[in-house]
Structure 1
Amino acid sequence: MTIEGGCYCGAVRYTAEGEAMMKAECFCRECQYVTGGNSLLAMAMPADGFQITKGEVKGYKRADLENGVTREFCADCGTHLTTRAPGFEAGVILKVGTLDDPSMFGKAESANFACDAQDYHRLPDDMPVHQKWMHS
């Protein structure tokens, strides 16, 4: 499978080759910051098949979080494109909204960090729901 995507303003573009390693919905507090309060849909693709094809991303990692992830953004428009997680160097986590064809995502296979879900969130009842990360 080949996935292409990019940021809102078009300054950053990427391609990802391979089979999806994970498809998930995340309710963690950090994802709520990035989305403006909602959960986040993401899919992991093999890191060796991922490349930025246009522009550059700016990375940010919170220093106060143990094993914090690095979130990569477009420096121009602020679109959150990817996440790189310690211990998961084999994959790059793509944000579904940045895919040129979001229908390629299909459907999440699990919901994670239900412990951080807000009263206004609707947890799914048609897939596994984990209080923390599914692999914790």
Structure 2
Amino acid sequence: MIVEGGCYCGAVRYKAEGEPMLKAECFCRECQYTTGGNSLLLMAMPADGYEITKGAVKGFKRDDLEKGVTREFCADCGTHLATRAPGFEVAVIVKVGTLDDPGVFGKADSANFACDAQDYHRLPDEMPVYQKWMHN
């Protein structure tokens, strides 16, 4: 599978090749910050098949978190494109909303960090729901 995507303003583009390692929905508080309050849909793609094809991303990592991830954004429009997680270096976590064709995502396989879900969130009942990350 080859997927392509980019940011809202078009300054950054990427290509990811390979089979998705996971497809998930995340309710963690950090994802709520980047989405403006919603959960976030993500697809982990093999890191060796991921490349920025136009522009450059700006990375941000919170130093106050023990296992802080690096979130990659467009420096111009602020679109959150990808995440790189310590301990999961084999993958780049692509944000589904940045895909040229988000329909290729299909459905998530799991919902994660239900412990951070707000009253206005709807937790799915047709897939596994984890209180923390499924791989912890």
TM-score by length of 2: 1.00
Deviation at 1:52, TM superposition (A): 0.1
Aligned residue type for 1:58: K
Consecutive unaligned residues of structure 1, counting only runs of 5 or more, are none
Which residues in structure 2 correspond to 1:37-76 (within 5 Å)? 37-76=37-76
Paired position in structure 2 for 1:87: 87
Which residues in structure 2 correspond to 1:1-136 (within 5 Å)? 1-136=1-136
Structure 1 vs Structure 2 CA RMSD: 0.3
Deviation at 1:20, TM superposition (A): 0.3
Deviation at 1:118, TM superposition (A): 0.3
SS at match of 1:3: strand
Consecutive unaligned residues of structure 2, counting only runs of 5 or more, are none
Runs of 4+ in 1 over 6 A off after TM superposition: none
Identity %: 83
Deviations 1:57-105 (A, max 9, x none): 0000001000100000000000000000000000000000000000010
Deviation at 1:9, TM superposition (A): 0.2
Q: What is the CA–CA distance in structure 2 between the aligned matches of 1:105 and 1:39, rounded to whole Å?
A: 15
Aligned residue type for 1:111: A
Q: What is the CA–CA distance in structure 1 between the aligned matches of 2:120 and 2:103, rounded to whole Å?
A: 25
TM-score by length of 1: 1.00
Figure out how many residues of one structure are paired with residues of the other and give that number.
Answer: 136
